[in-house]
Structure 1
Amino acid sequence: MTEAADYLISAVLIGTGATVVMDIWTMIRQRLLGIPSLDYGLVGRWLGHLARGRLRHDRIAASPPLRGERLIGWSAHYLIGIVFAGVLLAFFGLDWARDPTIGPALLVGLGSVAAPFLVMQPAMGFGIVASRTSHPAAARLHSLVTHAVFGGGLYAGGWLTHMVLR
């Protein structure tokens, strides 16, 4: 297998695995703590409107729904997870995928929280770092914990990929 193919396959497997771990966490969090997960249909709505030239919304939930927004949102959610796995591999190399360690995975997982804090939340009407939500501190904490779990998922995905591909 070429190095480029190894990189791509590893990013897909690690990113998908990490995103599954994050989704399992949000289901557990919802059942145990009653905290709802993000509606990925709204992410799809935002992306659909973005493709039509509209970046920012006062309240994304009040913007007109779009056909296929749920599929778009969920697809984007997994694609973003794969992209962050690619970032992990770009910075730490395929050697990391051959012998995963927790530090780089947590660094990328926690670093990935910058995307919702600085791009998605403001564009969807939630403010920078969730400042326009009803409970900003709680929203920030939940985002940080969820992205730390994603980092743990990157590590677990790295080990599973290592066992499958090596």
Structure 2
Amino acid sequence: MPEALGYLVCAAVVGTGATAVMDLWAVIRKRLLGVPSLDYALVGRWFVNLARGRFRHDPIGASPPVAHERLIGWTAHYLTGIAFAAVLLAFWGIGWVCRPAIGPALVVGMGSVVAPFFLMQPGMGAGIAASRTPRPGVARLHSLVTHGIFGLGLYATGWGASLLLERLQWRGFC
């Protein structure tokens, strides 16, 4: 497999798996703690408006709905997870998938909280690091935990991918 294709496939697999782990955490968090999940329709609405030149909303829920916003939001969510997996592989190399280490996965997972704190939350009307929400400290803690779970998901999915590569005996890959 050409190196560039291997890089893209690994980023897609690891990023999709890690994002799915994060989504599973959201379901568990809602059931155990009663914390509602992020409405990805609003994320889609924000992305569509971003493409139209509008970054900030006050709040995003007051902005008019857009066509296919839920699908766009979920797609953006998973593409973002893939992009962060690509960052992991760019910094630690494609070989990370063959021998995943938890440290780099947690660094990228925890580092990914920068995106919601400084881009998404301000753009959607919640302020920098949820400063305009009713309980900013609680919102920040939930974001940090969720992105830590994403980091664990990067590691777990990397580990699963390494086992699959070994089983398929893709010796040239690793």
TM-score using structure 1 length: 0.99
- What amino acid is aligned across from residue 60 of structure 2 in structure 1? I
How far residue 61 of structure 1 moved from its aligned partner, in angstroms, is: 0.3
Residue 54 in structure 1 maps to residue 49 in structure 2? no
Q: 1:12 — aligned with what?
A: 12
**What number of residue pairs does the alignment pair up?**
166
Q: 1:125 maps to which residue?
A: 125
In the aligned structure 2, how far is the partner of 1:68 from the partner of 1:116? 22
Q: Distance in 2 between matches of 1:76 and 1:33?
A: 26
How many angstroms apart in 2 are the aligned matches of 1:43 and 1:75? 10
Give the Å deviation of 1:119: 0.4
**1:51 offset after TM fit, Å?**
1.2
Q: 1:95 & 1:63 partners in 2: Cα distance?
A: 44
Quick one: distance in 1 between partners of 2:64 and 2:163? 45
CA deviation profile, 1:58-94 (whole Å, cap 9, x unmatched): 1000000001000000000000000000000000001
- Alignment deviations for residues 32-51 of structure 1 (CA, whole Å, 9 cap, x no partner): 00000110110000011111
Show the counterpart of 2:37: 37
Q: CA deviation at 1:131?
A: 0.0
Other structure's SS at 2:140 match: helix
Unaligned runs of 5+ in 2: 167-174
User: What residue is the counterpart of 2:65 in the other structure?
Assistant: 65
AA aligned to 2:141 is L
Which has the larger Rg? Answer: 2
Q: 1:78 and 2:81 equivalent?
A: no
Alignment partners' CA distance in 2, 1:16 and 1:111: 17
Q: What is the alpha-carbon root mean square deviation over aligned residues?
A: 0.6
Match of 1:91 in 2: 91
Helix, strand or coil for the counterpart of 1:4? helix
CA–CA separation in structure 2 for the residues paired with 1:49 and 1:95 = 38
Runs of 4+ in 1 over 2 A off after TM superposition: none
C-alpha distance after superposition, 1:104-142 (max 9, x if no partner): 000000000000000000011000000000110000000
- State the Cα distance separating 1:164 from its structure 2 match: 2.0
Q: CA separation in 2, counterparts of 1:92 and 1:138?
A: 32
